[in-house]
């Protein structure tokens, strides 16, 4: 089927099903272009919480669709490829978190939204890369167990006086970016600003001009006077950055920073999911209710970058 035919069918079915298509900034360009809304994890959760659509087609990874369901259980939440997971989210289980919590009884658990619903249910509050520092500052405890991203946790620890215990998880895509990738591009384009995601290694963060969520990167690109920007995150975001800022140049820090799971969603799979109303994402009600407390607390804090 030609792309135009697929897009027409998606448009018809989206209306028929009263569906909204949400896409993360790392999705392939064609999927971003048919979405009703493209954004970062926090913006997508906010959108999922307030949409009046009956069906949410989530073009992202499993934990994002799960978060949408946690917030909107009366809607049908579809993930066009059930195998689109986040390896970092799989680096912690609810059971292993319960064991660690017993070792640190005075610590509040702050969990990155890149985690399963079961892990969220064991946490005091969630955060995304757009509000991690603000969330950590918002809890009364001086001691925090931060899960599962050690690098986001390390970055937060440099921005707060609180004591953070870090879970040893990491993003296999962001760790591929090396400081030398940024330094080389800076030598090549001396006027360029380098912005990186807080999932990057501390050595990469040390050579960047700004540390931002993907939504923060979109805002930075819009507002900065700089005409050239080095992007230290997953390369899918270059599509939206270039589309919305045609007068600016964006240089991906490394072509290796590709998230294979984000790339699993295609136009065909979006169409099939609307035709079959599957794969559907659900969370058992007792887990959902506990996880929702942590997600709602995060939404009440709002964003900082």
Cβ nearer to ligand 13P, comparing 10 with 217:
217
Nearer to ligand SF4, 86 or 274 (CB): 86
Which two structure tokens, joined as six digits, stand for 204?
């990469």
Determine whether 224 is exposed, middle or buried from the number of CB atoms within 10 Å of its CB (0-12, 13-18, 19+). middle
Is residue 48 a contact residue for ligand SF4 (CB under 6 A)?
Answer: no
Give the interface with ligand 13P as residue ranges (CB under 6 A). Answer: 25, 40-41, 114, 128-129, 171, 199, 213-214
Alpha helices in 139-213 (DSSP H): 150-157, 179-188, 202-205
Q: Which partner from the list ligand SF4, ligand 13P, none does 41 bind, CB cut-off 5 to 8 Å by kind?
A: ligand 13P
Q: Which does 303 bind (CB under 5 to 8 A by kind): ligand SF4, ligand 13P, none?
A: none
When binding is defined by CB under 6 A, the residue of 31, 56, 61, 177 that contacts ligand SF4 is: 61
Confirm or reject binding of residue 261 to ligand SF4 (CB under 6 A).
yes
C-beta closer to ligand 13P: residue 114 or 115: 114
Taking the complex as a whole, how short is the minimal distance between the CB of residue 151 and ligand 13P, in angstroms? 11
Contact predicate 76/277, CB 8 Å = yes
Taking the least distance from each CB to ligand SF4, the nearer of 134 and 174 is: 174
The site partner of 51 among ligand 13P, ligand SF4, none (C-beta below 5 to 8 Å per kind) is none
Count CA within 13 A, CB hemisphere, residue 276.
13
Q: Which of 6, 88, 164, 208 binds ligand SF4 (CB under 6 A)?
A: 88
Residues 6+ apart with CB under 8 A from 194: 182, 185, 186, 207, 208, 209, 210, 229, 230, 232, 253
CA distances from 158 to 67, 133, 273 (A): 28, 10, 43
């Amino acid at each position: 089927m030609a792309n135009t035919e697929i897009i027409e069918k998606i448009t018809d079915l989206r209306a028929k099903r009263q569906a909204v298509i949400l896409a993360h900034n790392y999705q392939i360009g064609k999927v971003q272009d048919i979405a009703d809304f493209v954004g970062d994890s926090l913006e997508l959760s906010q959108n999922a919480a307030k949409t009046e659509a009956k069906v949410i087609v989530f073009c992202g990874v499993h934990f994002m669709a799960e978060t949408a369901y946690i917030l909107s259980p009366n809607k049908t939440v579809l993930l066009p490829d059930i195998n689109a997971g986040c390896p970092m989210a799989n680096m912690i289980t609810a059971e292993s978190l319960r064991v660690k919590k017993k070792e640190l009884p005075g610590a509040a658990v702050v969990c990155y939204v890149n985690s399963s619903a079961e892990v969220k249910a064991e946490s005091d509050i969630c955060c995304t890369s757009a509000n991690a520092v603000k969330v950590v500052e918002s809890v009364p405890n001086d001691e925090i167990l931060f899960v599962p991203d050690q690098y986001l946790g390390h970055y937060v620890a440099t921005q707060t006086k609180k004591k953070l215990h870090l879970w040893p998880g990491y993003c296999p895509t962001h760790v591929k970016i090396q400081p030398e990738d940024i330094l080389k591009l800076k030598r090549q384009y001396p006027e360029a600003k380098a912005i990186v995601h807080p999932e990057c290694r501390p050595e990469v963060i040390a050579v960047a001009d700004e540390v931002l969520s993907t939504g923060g990167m979109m805002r930075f690109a819009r507002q900065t006077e700089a005409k050239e920007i080095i992007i230290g995150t997953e390369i899918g975001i270059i599509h939206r950055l270039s589309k919305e800022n045609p007068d600016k140049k964006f240089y991906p820090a490394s072509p290796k920073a590709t998230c294979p799971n984000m790339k699993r969603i295609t136009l065909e799979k979006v169409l099939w999911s609307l035709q079959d109303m599957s794969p559907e994402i659900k969370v058992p009600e007792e887990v959902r209710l506990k996880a929702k407390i942590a997600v709602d607390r995060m939404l009440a804090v709002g964003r900082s970058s």
